[in-house]
Amino acid sequence: MRKIWLILLMAAGWTASAQQRKTPIMGWSSWNTYRVNISDTLIKRQADAMVATGLKDAGYTYINIDDGFFGYRDEQGEMHAHPQRFPGGMKAVADYIHSLGLKAGIYSDAGAVTCGSIWDKDRNGIGAGLYGHEAQDAELYFRRWGYDFIKIDYCGAGQELDLDEQPRYTAIRKAIDQVGRKEVEINICRWAFPGTWAKELAASWRISGDISDNWGSVKHIIEKNLPLSAYCADGHFNDMDMLEIGRSLSESEERVHFGLWCLMSSPLLVGCDMTTIPERSLALLKNPELIALNQDSLGLQAYPVQAVDGTYVLVKDIGRRRTPVRAVALYNPTDSARRISIALSELELEGKARLRDLFARKDLRPMRDTLSAVVGPHDVTLWRVEAERRLEPTCYEAEWAYLPLFNDLGKRKKEVFYAVEAKASGGRVVRYAGGCRENAIVWNRVWSDLGGRYEMRIAYLPAENRGLEVVVNGESVQVPLSAEGVVTLPVVLRPGDNTVEMTCRTQWVPDIDRFTLKRMGN
């Protein structure tokens, strides 16, 4: 009886934490279609369209005003809206958005000037950024005007002032918290993964330069996000940028764009004119099974389990961790059709696999042993796969690992990164871990069904003057390296999740490809 109570309590706790966890924001943003040419009537018309098209009912709730609303600062330094474009002021727009049951988002720069002042010759953007006005603007935007979200760009702070990202965004977050609006979400728009500190401040962060309305751009952003799944956790998301759906991409390219933004748990901000959106694109944006993937309560980003011949297979758990139900994408970014196949065991699945096509919203004929489909050029097949059993994992790629010191920040870039390497399984290694204890490669969820003894086999690229220390659940061993690029060692895992780290206090760690685990006769 006590056991049943315990299980019930645990289930209740699990549900509560899953409910509290935030999901990626869904809404619309003005930038992709209008750049700085926005106005209050335009924004209100889009807000109306969000309701009229049914996008609001499908879950899209934010109307985000991007660059272009700035007017001038008065003698007290107070920001005013653009007098011609927003004659009624910014509060009236936020009030209107709220009156429709939607949330309102706004935009600024961490420095003194906006990106629009540099790239779009918007002179009103000069001096419009948050720099030196953090408290004043936070009071105005979030308390007096009532906005609920802010995207914070970096042109002024970067190109112009060359500020350090972490203290800069921390100061802004503090100013927003101090006006009593801790629930305001911020988006760090630094066009590259900013560093693991970002999760203390922001709900999401951009990982790439600006998206544009073409296939090359969509493909590039997916590629950039492939090794970043470890940073999408606990209600914080890698932002793949606003959607270009409903503009000029082909039907299959739109499938890739939306399907992978959903599977990778990116924020979903529609970027087209919602008053003229083509029916086909609208139906895609409203597909409830794809939205459910994006808003899944686990909040995970799919990671690549196979990279063959330019194609990828990505997978993630949905609903609950480690069940036989997973979401799987067979992604073909190449320019010709490909058959993509993967053994079920590579997906940690076994038995008959029931398949549901998430684009067509139809059940398909089940498959056994191997999943396989012909995928057209620039296209993706996205399935919910329900197998009979979930297998214990045996492989952990370096490109799935969390790197506590990883960032992608130009001048202040740290050395450690995910390097493209043709010889590596999955096509990537982690390069330049080590040199200090903290510069580790960390796998936080190394799963063992029962716990016990395993043989760990580490694959790496041999090189001179390297060292390797493997830390399992805090217990460290020095590992002798060889010229073969493979080393094996016995490890003991406990039942459930384990943490494995690879580091070296004194030297670089060799480029790590992956490790595999084999259960030993316990």
Question: Among all residues, whose Cβ is closest to ligand GLA?
Answer: 115
- 428 CB contacts (<8 Å, ≥6 apart)? 226, 227, 397, 398, 399, 418, 419, 420, 421
Q: How far is the CB of 207 from ligand GLA (least distance, A)?
A: 11
Q: How is residue 402 written in tokens?
A: 């969390």
Rounded to whole angstroms, the Cα distance separating 14 from 419 reads 36
Half-sphere exposure of 305 (CA within 13 A, CB side): 25
Burial class (CB in 10 A: 0-12, 13-18, 19+), 517: buried
Secondary structure of the chain: what % helix, strand, coil (to 5)?
Answer: 30, 30, 40
Q: What secondary structure does DSSP assign to 173-232, as a single string?
A: HHHHHHTT-TT-EEEE--SS---GGGGGT-SEEE-SS---SSHHHHHHHHHHHGGGGGG-
Q: How far is the CB of 312 from ligand GLA (least distance, A)?
A: 26
Asked if 153 is an active-site residue, the reply is yes
Query: Which residue's entry shows tokens 């992604």?
Result: 331
* Contact by Cβ (8 Å): 458, 491: no
CB of 256 to ligand GLA, least distance (A): 21
Q: How far is the CB of 19 from ligand GLA (least distance, A)?
A: 31
Q: Known catalytic residue: 497?
A: no
Tell me which of 153, 239, 241, 379 is the catalytic residue: 153
Nearer to ligand GLA, 165 or 296 (CB): 165
For residue 476, the tally of other CB atoms under 10 A from its CB is 13
Q: Which is nearer to ligand GLA, 158 or 427 (CB)?
A: 158
Active-site position among 48, 120, 210, 317: 210
C-beta of 158 vs 299, nearer to ligand GLA:
158
The nearer residue to ligand GLA, 102 or 192, going by C-beta atoms, is 192
Closer CB to ligand GLA, 409 or 458, in the complex: 409
Residues with Cβ within 8 Å of residue 283, at least 6 apart in sequence: none
- Nearer to ligand GLA by Cβ, of 116 and 427: the residue is 116
What is the end-to-end Cα distance of the chain in Å, rounded? 31
CB of 155 to ligand GLA, least distance (A): 6
What is the token pair recorded at 364?
């398909």
Distances (CA, A) of 297 to 62, 203, 294: 19, 15, 9
**Distance, CA of 24 to CA of 159 (rounded, Å):** 29
CB 340 to ligand GLA: min, Å: 32
Q: Between 205 and 231, name the residue whose CB sits nearer to ligand GLA.
A: 205
CA–CA distance, 350 with 389 (Å, rounded to integer): 5
Using alpha carbons, select from 370, 377, 379 the residue that is nearest to residue 347. 370
Rounded CA separation 284/292 (Å): 13
Residue 334 φ/ψ, nearest 5 degrees: -75, 175
φ, ψ for residue 12, nearest 5 deg: -65, -45
Residues engaged in binding ligand GLA (CB under 6 A): 31, 66-67, 114-116, 153, 189, 191, 210
Closest approach, Cβ 275 to ligand GLA, in A, equals 21
The residue among 191 and 312 lying less far from ligand GLA, judged by its C-beta, is 191
Nearest distance from residue 126's CB to ligand GLA, in Å? 13
Q: Mind telling me the catalytic residues? A: 153, 210
